[in-house]
Chains A and B, each alone.
Chain A
C-alpha cells in the first residue's frame, strides 16, 4: 500500500475482496468446506483463509478429492502443509467410489479418472452435509467460467444452470438455499493466472516441487508431454525419455501435461508466465513449444 495516497495495489484489492467473501460464507452458511487440490490456486486459497480467520482456526474443514493418480510430490506437500496449518483434512477418494461401484473405471491407454471425480465430490458433499464449497476457480481460465457468479448456486443434483444465475450486486452475496442444495463459492474469481503467481511470490508461499523445472521421464502424446508412471499405458511408438519440465497446472498424472522449462526459481516461473502466449488450459492440453518461443521474444526485446 502507498502510505501517501491510501491506494491499494491491484493484488491488495483482489485480496481484500477474497477475504470478504470467505468471511461472508463462514457467517451465512452452516457447513462450508474448502476444496483443496494441492495446486497453486488452492495454495493461495489457504493463505486467504488464514488472512480471513487467524489467529483462530478455519471455521470449516479442507477437503481433497483424491483420484489416486495424483503426483506423489503433491500428496506429500498436501499432508505437510495441512500439518503446518493445524487444520482438518478430509480426503474423498475416487478409488473408494470405484470400489463401491458408484463409478466405473475407464479403460484403455487414454483412461483418466478426471471425470469420475465429480461423483466422488458430490457424494462427499452429501455425506458431510456441506452447504457451501469454496473453490479456487478463476474467470480467466475459460469462457464459461467467465460467466459464473462468485456465489454459484447448485441444485440438489449439483447442477449449475447458467440461464438461471442469481443477480449478484455490490458485495452483497445471497447464499440462501434449501436443504440438499449448495453453493460453490469462488473467492479468487477475479484473479488471473499471473495474479496468482505474483501473490505466491509476494507472500512467499511454498508450492509443490513439480511447479519448478525438474528432470522427469516423460512421453509425447498429442503434441504434449506426459509423466511416465504406473498409471499410464503407452500406445505404439510412444517412448519414454528424460526432459527438463515443469507443471503449469496440477491435476491427475494421466491428463496433466508438462511444459519444457528450465525455470527453477519462483522468479523465473513468474517471468515465463508473464511471457507466455498460451492459456494454462490450452498449454496443458496442447503443444508446449510456445513457452520457449515467447521467452525468446522477450530476450529479443532486451530480456537477459
Chain B
C-alpha cells in the first residue's frame, strides 16, 4: 500500500501523516499506581488529546470536586467506572508520533477483572506494568507480570512511577529492579526494561528527567517508539488457516477458486509448494490476491486469498503449510488455561473449543495443577479452576485440530473455550503440547 501511496499522487501528505508502523501495548497497574495519569501524560504530551475532550475532563473534574484535572476520566468511559473511580473494562486509546502509531489497551488492575486484562493484552506487542515506587512490587504487579509472560507478550516494560515521592532516589529504583528480577527469573520474559518515571511531573515519560541524572536509559516514549517488533512474528513456519472459500458465481470468474485467510506464520510465495491439512494434499500457489490485485508474496499478518494450480478439496478450518514443516494434527491437547467464568472448570466438563478457524467439542480430561500467581508455586486444583485461576489442563477434542505450541506461534497455539449453555467465552488456552493423531 505504501508503494501505491508513492505513486498515486498523494505522496505529498505531510510528515506527520506519513505511513508508519503500528505498536500495540497494554498497560496494567494497581489502583493508584498512576496508570491513568501516565496515559493522560502520553496522550497530552503527544498532542493526542483534543480540546473538546480536555475541556470535558476539566469540567467533569470540577463538578466532581476532584480538585485537579483527573485524566483518568479520559479513559474510564463507563458510568460505573466513573462512579467507582476504577477501571473495569479495557479501553482502547490511540496516539501517534511521527515515528509510530500506537494502540493502548488500558486494562484493569483488579484481580476480579483479570479476564478483561487478558482481553486487552492478548494480541499486544508490549506490556507496560506500573509499580508505585513507595510500595514496590505488590500482589497485583506479580499477577500482571505473570499474565504478560503467560501470554508471551514479547516485550515488557516495568515503569517505576512516583519517583518524585521517594526523592528520585536511585536506590529505591535499584531495589525494585532487584525484587522484580529475582521473582521473575522463573518467567518467560523475552525483553525486560525498567524505567524510573514520574507520570505526574512528566519525568522520563516523553522527556528525559532532570531529576534523575543517574538514569542512563531512554524515556518511556522513546523506548516505545524504538523497540524492535518486526522480528516478533514467526517468519519461519508457514501457516495459513482457511477462513473462507471465494467462489464467484459469475461467468467471468466461473473457474475461480480462492482460499482466503490471514497469514499466521511464514512466507508464502507464488510458485511455492503447499500442503493442505488435515487432508495432506499438495499443490503449488498459482496466485495470491488482495481485492483484484495480485501480489507475489504474503506474510503475517496479511489477509490474502490463495489460488492453487490444482483443484483440491479445501474448506474453512483447513490449513495451508509446507510439506516439510507441518503443525501437529491433534485431538489431545495440553495447555495453560485462564478461567474466566464464575462456574468453575472441572474434570469432565464439556465446552466448545475454537482454535484458528476450526471449532469442535472438548472435554476436560485432567487438571494437572493450578498456579499460585503470587508465588508461582504449583498447587492442587481443588474443585477445579475458579474464576481468574490459571492452570494446566488436558483436553480431548471431538475433531482434529492443527496446532503448534503457543511459544512458537500465538495464532496456531491459542484457543478459546465457549460454554454451550450460555454462549459465553469462558476460557483462554495456550498450548504447551499435543498428542499427534495416528
Write the residues of chain A forming the contact surface with B, with a CB cutoff of 8 angstroms: 1-2, 5-17, 19-20, 23-24, 26-27, 47, 50-57, 139-140, 142-147, 149, 162-163, 165-172, 174, 176-178, 189-190, 192, 194-195, 198, 201-202, 204, 266-267, 270-271, 274, 276-279, 282-283, 286, 290, 303
Tell me how far the C-beta of A183 lies from the nearest C-beta in chain B, rounded to whole angstroms.
Answer: 11
* Nearest residue, chain B, Cβ from A149: B119
Q: Is the CB–CB distance between B230 and A55 below 8 Å?
A: no
22 A/B residue pairs, CB under 8 Å, sorted by A? A1-B2, A5-B230, A9-B22, A11-B19, A13-B301, A16-B302, A17-B301, A47-B291, A51-B290, A52-B303, A142-B77, A143-B77, A146-B77, A147-B89, A147-B91, A172-B415, A172-B416, A174-B416, A174-B423, A198-B17, A202-B4, A286-B52
Task: Choose from A6, A8, A55, A166 the contact partner of B424 (Cβ within 8 Å).
Answer: A166
Tell me how far the C-beta of B140 lies from the nearest C-beta in chain A, rounded to whole angstroms.
Answer: 19
Task: Choose from A7, A12, A26, A274 the contact partner of B16 (Cβ within 8 Å).
Answer: A274
Tell me how far the C-beta of B418 lies from the nearest C-beta in chain A, rounded to whole angstroms.
Answer: 6
Interface string of B74-92 (1 = CB under 8 A from A): 1111101000000011111
Q: Is the CB–CB distance between A169 and B122 below 8 Å?
A: yes
Q: Is the CB–CB distance between A277 and B89 below 8 Å?
A: no
Question: Knowing that A54-B292, A282-B53 are A-B contacts, what are 12 other residue pairs whose CB atoms are under 8 Å apart, sorted by A's residue number?
Answer: A14-B22, A24-B357, A143-B74, A144-B78, A165-B89, A168-B119, A171-B123, A172-B415, A267-B12, A278-B50, A278-B52, A283-B52
Tell me how far the C-beta of B423 lies from the nearest C-beta in chain A, rounded to whole angstroms.
Answer: 4
Tell me how far the C-beta of A248 lies from the nearest C-beta in chain B, rounded to whole angstroms.
Answer: 13
B370 at interface (Cβ–Cβ under 8 A)?
Answer: no
B118 at interface (Cβ–Cβ under 8 A)?
Answer: yes
Tell me how far the C-beta of B352 lies from the nearest C-beta in chain A, rounded to whole angstroms.
Answer: 7
How many CB-defined contacts (below 8 Å) exist between A and B? 223
Tell me how far the C-beta of B386 lies from the nearest C-beta in chain A, rounded to whole angstroms.
Answer: 16
Residues on B with C-beta less than 8 A from A266 are: 10
Give the contacts of B79-114 with A (CB-CB under 8 A).
80, 88-94, 96, 100-101, 103
Q: Is the CB–CB distance between A55 and B416 below 8 Å?
A: no
* Nearest residue, chain A, Cβ from B246: A56
Q: Is the CB–CB distance between B354 and A172 below 8 Å?
A: yes
Task: Choose from A6, A27, A192 the contact partner of B299 (Cβ within 8 Å).
Answer: A6
B267 at interface (Cβ–Cβ under 8 A)?
Answer: yes
B375 at interface (Cβ–Cβ under 8 A)?
Answer: no
Kindly state the interface size class of chain B when it binds its partner: 35 or more
B411 at interface (Cβ–Cβ under 8 A)?
Answer: yes
Residues on A with C-beta less than 8 A from B21 are: 7, 9-10
Residues on A with C-beta less than 8 A from B262 are: 16, 19-20, 171
Q: Is the CB–CB distance between A2 and B13 below 8 Å?
A: no
Q: Is the CB–CB distance between A12 and B243 below 8 Å?
A: no
Residues on B with C-beta less than 8 A from A189 are: 92
Instruction: Decide: A267 near B75, CB < 8 A? Known: A19-B303, A26-B244, A168-B119.
Output: no
Q: Is the CB–CB distance between B101 and A10 below 8 Å?
A: yes
Q: Is the CB–CB distance between B5 and A202 below 8 Å?
A: yes
Tell me how far the C-beta of A70 lies from the nearest C-beta in chain B, rounded to whole angstroms.
Answer: 26
Residues on B with C-beta less than 8 A from A53 are: 244, 246, 260
Tell me how far the C-beta of A51 lies from the nearest C-beta in chain B, rounded to whole angstroms.
Answer: 4
Cα separation A52 to B246 with both chains bound (whole Å):
9
Task: Choose from A2, A201, A303 the contact partner of B2 (Cβ within 8 Å).
Answer: A2
Tell me how far the C-beta of B407 lies from the nearest C-beta in chain A, rounded to whole angstroms.
Answer: 15
Q: Which 9 A-B pairs have the closest CB atoms?
A: A143-B77, A282-B52, A19-B303, A51-B291, A10-B22, A56-B248, A9-B19, A10-B101, A169-B122
B185 at interface (Cβ–Cβ under 8 A)?
Answer: no
Tell me how far the C-beta of A275 lies from the nearest C-beta in chain B, rounded to whole angstroms.
Answer: 9
Task: Choose from B1, B123, B249 the contact partner of A57 (Cβ within 8 Å).
Answer: B249
Residues on A with C-beta less than 8 A from B96 are: 192, 194
Q: Is the CB–CB distance between B94 and A139 below 8 Å?
A: yes
Task: Choose from A139, A172, A174 the contact partner of B414 (Cβ within 8 Å).
Answer: A172
